Amino acid sequence: MEFVGTIFGEIIWGLGEMAIKIFLIIIPLMIGLEILKGYGILEKLTRPLAPFLQRFDLSPAAGVPFLIGQFLGLSYGAGVLIQSSREGKVSPHEMWLVCLFLSLCHSLFEDTLLFVAVGANFFVLVGFRLALAIGVTLLFSRVLLPRRVN
Amino acid sequence: MIKTFVVRGWNSGINTFFILMRVMIPVYILITVVRHTPLLGWLSEIFQPAMAFFGLPGEAVMVLILGQGINIYAAVGAISGLEMGVREITILGGMLTISHSLPMETMVIRQARVPVKGLLFIRVGLSLLSGVILNLLL
């Protein structure tokens, strides 16, 4: 019984901590994003990405989930991914490609630095991961799963 | 005008918070319970011999399992408890930055109505392949 009690306590504390942390991050984040969007700043920020996205056959609209997911990671960026998918500005095919890139490569520096802290080589990790994500997303968008031409 | 944006942000923030909680609470409970069972230990025993493909010592299997099943923090914690060099830690880092926190991240992506099966397969496959490649390159 004591064992069950320990796990129960661990779950309650852990969940509470996680919920508070996510709430404190996600609320200001979504408010900030709506402000950036409202004043057209987000569009300006993602515009330079357009030529890069075009190589993967992605429209400029896909830049928003791409950029947010890249820097905030999949969990904190989830709100934007969900929103983009629901608003319909980004097609399901594009969302899949964005998620392919992001699942291989997100929070690039944050994740890497955790391993560097215990002794890994920074440049190998960043270079390898970025090259892999770009290469695989190109392969899928151009060769394996290209958008059907109407 | 700014008030409209703040209200809109607050609403979508609350909405996202509840979507995330609905996904994260069950996954978190499952992970915590599994961590208290011998399951991870059994998985380690099964996959230990495969570590040779990545040029890693057998004990490193636990780092990979913790990283894939739980998160990077759990994996990094396990690395600090083992004696490994830059080469081994870089190989582990390569494999785990590409693929980690699979239950949590997969469930989150699913909320955006993106089909996840293929993504999961690609991700794990490439992580394993990266281990082999990094072992040859480094």
ipTM for this prediction: 0.91
pLDDT of A148 over the 70 cut: no
Closest residue in chain B to residue A20, using alpha carbons only:
B17
| Chain B contacts in chain A segment 38-77 (CB below 8 A) | 38-39, 74-75
Asked, for residue A150, whether it belongs to a domain, the answer is no
What ranges do the domains of chain B cover?
A: 2-137
With respect to residue A28, please indicate whether it lies within any of the assigned structural domains: yes
Distances (CA, A) of A122 to A117, B4, B60: 9, 43, 20
pLDDT beyond 60 at A150 = no
pTM: 0.91
- A149 within domain boundaries: no
Determine, yes or no, domain membership for A7.
Answer: yes
Report residue B109's pLDDT band, with 50, 70 and 90 as the boundaries: very high
For the segment B5-22, the average pLDDT, to the nearest whole number, is: 93
- Residues in chain A, total: 150
pLDDT in tens, A23-41: 998 999 999 999 999 999 9
Quick one: A79 and A33 in the same domain?
no
Residues A55 and A107 placed together within one structural domain of the fold: yes
Q: How many domains does chain A have?
A: 2
| Residue A35 sits in the same domain as residue A46 | no
Predicted pLDDT of residue A1: 61
The band of B129, judged by pLDDT with boundaries at 50, 70 and 90, is very high
Q: Domain range for residue A53?
A: 40-144
* Alpha-helical runs (H) found in B36-116: 39-47, 60-69, 72-80, 86-98, 102-111
When pLDDT is averaged across residues A58-65 and rounded to a whole number, the result is: 93
What per-residue confidence (pLDDT) applies to B75? 95
Q: Residues A58, A22: one domain?
A: no
Query: Nearest residue on chain B to A73, judged by CA atoms?
Result: B105
The mean pLDDT of B106-128, rounded to a whole number, is 95
Read off the tokens for A60.
């400029």
